[in-house]
Amino acid sequence: MTLHTRRIMVWKRVIPDLASKNGYLMHLLLALAGIHMIIHQSEVVSTSRNDETDTVDLTVIVEHHQIGLQGFREEISCISSSNAESVFSGSMLLVGFAFASLKVQELNPLAAPPREAVISAGTSDSTNGILRLNWLYLNRGVSTVIGEQWETLKMSRLRQILAIPNRDETWKELSFDAPSSRLSHCSQRIVKFAEGAGQAVANLKASLNMFDSAENMVSSDWETPSNSPTMAPGWVAEANSGAIDVLDKAYARAISVLNFAVTESPASLEIQLDFEEAAILSWPIDLPSQFLALLGRSEHDNLHGYSLVILAHLYLLNTLVDTWFMRGSFEREILKINTLIESLHESQLTAFMMWPNEVLKLPLPYVGTP
Residue 260 and residue 275 in contact, taking contact as beta carbons nearer than 8 Å: no
Average pLDDT in the 110-133 region? 50
**Nearest CA to 161 among 21, 326, 282, 323?**
282
The full DSSP string for 274-302 is HHHHTTTT-GGGGS-HHHHHHHT-S--SH
pLDDT at 98 over 70: yes
Phi–psi pair at 274, nearest 5 degrees:
-70, -35
Are the CB atoms for 64 and 34 separated by under 8 Å? Answer: yes
- Residue-level pLDDT at 164: 59
Strand partners, 131: 119
Residue range 59-88, pLDDT digits in tens:
999 999 999 999 999 999 999 999 999 999
Higher pLDDT, 165 or 306: 306
Residues 207-223 have a mean pLDDT of 62
Q: Which of 121-130, 205-214, 324-333 has the lowest mean pLDDT?
A: 121-130
Q: Are 276 and 4 in contact (CB under 8 A)?
A: yes
Print the SS3 string covering 152-205.
HHCCCCCHHHHCCCCCHHHCCCCCCCCCHHHHCCCCHHHHHHHHHHHHHHHHHH
Q: What is the DSSP letter of 123?
A: -
- What is the C-alpha to C-alpha distance for residues 92 and 110, in angstroms, rounded to an integer? 17
Q: Where are the domains of the chain?
A: 5-162, 168-360
Contact partners, residue 213, CB within 8 Å, separation at least 6: none
Residue 130 pairs with which residues in a beta bridge? Answer: 120
pLDDT at 110: 42
Cβ proximity of 315 and 113 under 8 Å: no
Q: Which residues contact 256 (CB under 8 A, 6 or more apart)?
A: 166, 170, 171, 174, 278
Q: What pLDDT sits at residue 225? A: 40
* pLDDT tens-digit map of 227-266: 444 445 578 889 999 999 999 999 999 998 887 655 555 5
Question: Taking a C-beta distance cutoff of 8 angstroms, is the pair 183, 257 a contact?
Answer: no
- 300, 75 in Cβ contact below 8 A? no
Of the candidates 61, 24, 25, which has an alpha carbon nearest to the alpha carbon of residue 11?
25
What confidence category does residue 58 fall into, taking pLDDT thresholds of 50, 70 and 90?
very high
Q: What is this structure's pTM?
A: 0.84
- Residue 72 in 3-state DSSP? helix
For 35, 45, 51, 54, 363, the CA distances from 48, given in Å and listed in that order, are 20, 5, 7, 14, 20
Query: 3-class SS at 221?
Result: helix
DSSP states along 291-349? HHHHHT-S--SHHHHHHHHHHHHHHHHHTT---TTTTTHHHHHHHHHHHHHHHHT-HHH
CA triple 62-64-70, angle to 5 deg: 100
101, 91, 96: which is closest to 39 by C-alpha?
101
- Cα separation, 284 vs 76, in Å, equals 20
Average pLDDT on 152-178 reads: 70
Taking residues 87-104, report their average pLDDT.
93
Among candidate residues 215, 207, 235, 229, the one with its CA nearest the CA of residue 310? 207
Would the CA dihedral through 362, 367, 369, 370 be positive or negative? positive
